[in-house]
Amino acid sequence: MKFINLHTHFYTNSDLILEIVNQYPNEFSEEIPLYSIGIHPWHIDDNRLSDDLKIVKEKLSLKECIALGECGLDKRIDKIYSTQIDVFEAQLDLLHQVSKPVILHCVASFDEVISCKKNSGLTSPFIIHGFSKNVQIAKQLLNQDFHLSFGKYLFRNPELGDVFKQIPNEKIFLETDTIVESLEEVYTFAAKCKNISVEEMKEIVWNNYQTVFNKKN
């Protein structure tokens, strides 16, 4: 049973890890065997938006692409927020043609992301990557059937361990994103928070991957 890395920007080709590598349409690498692809709100560019959406649509139809994302909303950047919503919703529309999970970037926009999910009418799983907030926000998202992926903020925010402990096992993923800590270190820390073994944590996340990404035999 492999470790699952829900979201990373670095392809390591490790035999021990199943990596979902984040790809951007304008920086796509054919060498990565398993990936997600999406238009990040930081990288919205009106000059290439139409082309980027076409690439995302094309890649979503391939078996190597197992999720849309990361995409989403961010109130702390200078991109026009209404444009971010338009681009996010345009990407969600693509999932009416091919059903795959969504890996989300969400900064100070949880209400809006929940609203977009509802308005989309999609039944695809939605996963907040890099979750770093409190129990109240976690419960708000869980009540709307979101999954939560944890990584660097487990190390950076001591209080987040208590939040992670309260998340139902069937709703969690783990990731490295861009941190220097290894995925094994993330799993070790997460297992300690739940007071279980690393092997038990591996099994939990593996089972969630099988379910959410429809990989069960």
Q: Which positions make up the binding site for a divalent metal cation? A: 70, 105, 129, 177
Query: What is the Cα 29 distance to its own chain's centre?
Result: 19
Q: Phi and psi of 36, rounded to 5°?
A: -115, 160
- Per the annotation, where are the binding residues? 70, 105, 129, 177
Question: In what order do the strands lie in the sheet containing 17-23?
Answer: 3-8, 17-23, 35-37, 65-74, 102-107, 126-128, 146-150, 172-174
